[in-house]
Amino acid sequence: MAVALRLSKPSSPLPCHPLAPSLLCYSQLFSSLQRRTASPLRCRCSKKKETSFTDQLLDYIEGGPKLRKWYGAPDLLPKDGGLENEDESSEIDEVRDAVLVTDGESEIGQMVILSLILKRARIKALVKDKRAAIDAFGIYVETIVGDLNDKTFLTNALRGVRAIICASNDGFFSDIGRTKGAQHIVLLSQLAFYRGSSGIQAVMNSKARKLAERDEETVIASGIPYTIIRAGLLQDSPGGKQGFSFLKGAAAKGRLSKEDAAAVCVEALDSLPEEGVIFEVVNGEEKVRDWKEKFAELLGTVEG
């Protein structure tokens, strides 16, 4: 006699960890999958429904493909595996609920995307290789390829975007017009570290320092609420293993895991400042249990 088992949906949304989720769950999987390929974005799926990198990640963390729907994944991919092009002439007002990641192909950009996926956010990402990005992230991410100097392309890229996360010096903020319509900008900056360098290191970092200064100045002048996260030297060490330090001056000599940096960027989305906030962060002793409380504390320190 055959027995049929019926799986019901959870009665409430899946819980999020305080550092959800990259710091607690996917560090080892991300590293192991990354070693198998030149880049996570180079993962190729076979025609027999082989799971993508992101699906493997969600299966590993949450216990199986049945829970992918809770992260916004539809039943089927488009037949060509791609995303339908937006109607450029459309004038329909969209709800601004998407997060734009400006460099979706950088290592830390991919970490930001993975954290956003597990928070079930609507994601748009600027990439150079759309096919590779789709193979890696499937339809969890709306990948966008184009020339940032093209106003039409930029308008479409920002359509429906409420927040922008820039985790690398990718040149996105070379034009203040690229922030039009956004309601929150989160910038990961290493300016404090570059300013704290000396000798030959200062010479080597001079170009990166100028780019970081330009990005911060553009974001501050945009008139859009901003969160500038001044990190210490970014490291390839696993996230979630250490605490944090937010002391002023810590970023000049301290270090921060890239996974931790990506997680802080994503957590910052839930705390919108009235004007803007700038703070430093490195790995340290402080364990953050509630990021909303921590950002409220940081905002209070700035305003005070």
**Residues written for the chain:** 304
In the prediction, which pLDDT does 59 show? 60
In the prediction, which pLDDT does 300 show? 81
Q: How far apart are alpha carbons 219 and 253 in whole angstroms?
A: 24
Q: What backbone phi and psi angles, to 5 degrees, belong to 158?
A: -90, -5
In degrees, to the nearest 5, what angle opens at C-alpha 209 toward C-alphas 204 and 212?
A: 145
101 three-class SS: strand
Structure-token pair, residue 191? 């300016």
Q: How far apart are alpha carbons 105 and 128 in whole angstroms?
A: 8
Peptide bond preceding 238 in cis form (omega within 30 of 0): no
In the prediction, which pLDDT does 174 show? 75
Which DSSP helix (H) or strand (E) runs through 133? helix 130-137
34-51 residues labelled b (16+ CB within 10 A) or e (exposed): beeeeebbebebeeeeeb
Of 196, 174, 202, 199, the C-alpha closest to 251 is 196
Structure-token pair, residue 146? 């184009």
In the prediction, which pLDDT does 32 show? 41
In degrees, to the nearest 5, what angle opens at C-alpha 294 toward C-alphas 281 and 259?
A: 45
Q: How far apart are alpha carbons 49 and 40 in whole angstroms?
A: 18
DSSP 182-219: -SEEEEEE-HHHHHH--HHHHHHTHHHHHHHHHHHHHH
Of 261, 181, 259, 174, the C-alpha closest to 219 is 174
In the prediction, which pLDDT does 169 show? 76
Q: How far apart are alpha carbons 96 and 165 in whole angstroms?
A: 15
In the prediction, which pLDDT does 4 show? 44
In the prediction, which pLDDT does 197 show? 86
Structure-token pair, residue 184? 């929150």
In the prediction, which pLDDT does 146 show? 87
Q: How far apart are alpha carbons 236 and 65 in whole angstroms?
A: 29
CA dihedral 104, 133, 122, 220 (to 10 degrees): 10
In the prediction, which pLDDT does 162 show? 95
With a threshold of 0.95, does the pTM exceed it? Answer: no
In the prediction, which pLDDT does 71 show? 53
The series of mean pLDDT values per 10 residues for the chain, 304 residues long, is: 41 40 45 43 46 59 50 46 44 77 92 93 92 87 88 87 89 78 94 89 88 92 94 91 94 94 95 94 95 92 56
